[in-house]
Amino acid sequence: MTNVIEVTSLCKRYGDLEAVRGVSFAVAPGEVFCLLGPNGAGKTSITEILEGYRTRTGGSVSVLGMDPARGARALRERVGIVLQSCGVQPDLTVAELLEMYGCYHRTRRPIGELIELVELEAKRDTRANQLSGGQRRRLDLALALVGDPDLVFLDEPTTGFDPAARRHAWSTIRSLCELGKTVFLTTHFMDEAQFLAHRVAVMRAGEIVALGRPEELGGRDLRPTEIRFTLPGGRSLADLPEVPAVAIALEGDRALISSHEGVLATQRITSWALAEGMELEHFTVAQPSLEDVYLELTGGETGDDVNGETGDDVNGGTGHGVNGEPRGPGGPAGERDGERIEVLR
């Protein structure tokens, strides 16, 4: 089966700054592929190269069998993009916006089907400026899907959402895979990556430092299981039964048992408690989280300026876009938004 995205030895330089350093990966059809990393790690550069908004310095890139640097209409008609911030005509309704953007495409999904997919039926005739933040993001997704793309880029799709809205958005994104779409996701939320992604790549300083399934990333599945519970009154660690463990420690009044044989260790602990007629309060069994592994892989960096790249604006605030064109009024986001509309015309 041909990969939807193939990247080999990709490099991107901005003057003396090497923002992307020999990155290689592939994305299979129907996959949700997530790119993680602190700000400045190179995620934005890679994403914009794949979208065709930036040119690469070296390496090869194939998106749906085509080179995005050539800017072919045949490629753009098969790609949908949801930016961190999307600008739409605020005085148009949801249905009117979908109708207008649909006119830019040769192939169109039915408006009613899109509205149902993003669950905006009750807001069909509501103006964009009257939608809530979560509803606006759902509209952004519908607009990205109006041309029935095979590949969808989602850039921080749930930033600013409350927990309920985020779960709702996840359900919608999952439904894209059921439609046979491939999703390229960038996010700062580890639980989002854990829930949505089939595979995750973690970047640091322009390089991929780990790539794999969320539950296996960085050897996560091989790390000890951690069993925690509150010791019953009058009991100490010395009273615990013999369990296979690499470490047993006390965290305040809670016991911590780390074991490579989590099932057996859990069985012995719970059997001991039942035999003694004791309740083990706050009992949990877990492996290190994706966030734990991510922080180890990135060195705990916040990424405000990891390698000199400051997110979208790698041109040093010169007031020009990616190809020397003047920026839109919205800065970097406006620049990309403006380019997107220009391409669709």
pLDDT tens-place string over residues 143-202: 998 999 999 999 988 877 778 878 888 888 888 888 889 999 999 889 999 999 999 999
**Best CATH choice for the domain 224-286 from the list 3.40.50, 3.30.70, 1.10.1660, 1.10.3470:** 3.30.70
Asked if the model's pLDDT at residue 223 lies above 70, the reply is yes
DSSP string across 119-161: T-GGGTTSBGGGS-HHHHHHHHHHHHHTT--SEEEEESTTTT-
Q: What pTM value is reported for the model?
A: 0.77
List the domain boundaries for the chain. Answer: 5-218+292-344, 224-286
- Of 70-74, 270-274, 314-318, highest mean pLDDT: 270-274
> What is d(CA 86, CA 333) in angstroms, rounded to the nearest whole number?
8
Asked if the model's pLDDT at residue 83 lies above 70, the reply is yes
Give the pLDDT confidence score for residue 84 in this predicted structure. Answer: 76
How many CB atoms neighbour CB 27 within 10 A? 23
Task: Let me know: does 61 contact 67? Beta carbons within 8 Å.
Answer: yes
Give the pLDDT confidence score for residue 301 in this predicted structure. Answer: 63
Asked if the model's pLDDT at residue 87 lies above 90, the reply is no
Asked if the model's pLDDT at residue 10 lies above 90, the reply is yes
CATH code of 5-218+292-344, in short, is 3.40.50.300
State the average pLDDT over residues 41-61: 94
Which of residues 277 and 160 earns the better pLDDT score? 277
Task: Let me know: does 51 contact 79? Beta carbons within 8 Å.
Answer: yes
Asked if the model's pLDDT at residue 56 lies above 90, the reply is yes
State the average pLDDT over residues 228-246: 93
Asked if the model's pLDDT at residue 103 lies above 70, the reply is yes
Hunting for tokens 């890679």 — which residue is that?
46
Hunting for tokens 């330089």 — which residue is that?
13
Which of residues 129 and 169 earns the better pLDDT score? 129
Least confident of 57-66, 91-100, 108-117, 130-139: 130-139
State the average pLDDT over residues 330-345: 34
Give the pLDDT confidence score for residue 302 in this predicted structure. Answer: 58
**Which amino acid belongs to residue 236?**
S
State the average pLDDT over residues 328-343: 34
| Nearest of 83, 58, 70 to residue 311 by alpha carbon | 83
| Nearest of 237, 218, 225, 183 to residue 290 by alpha carbon | 218
**Which amino acid belongs to residue 335?**
E
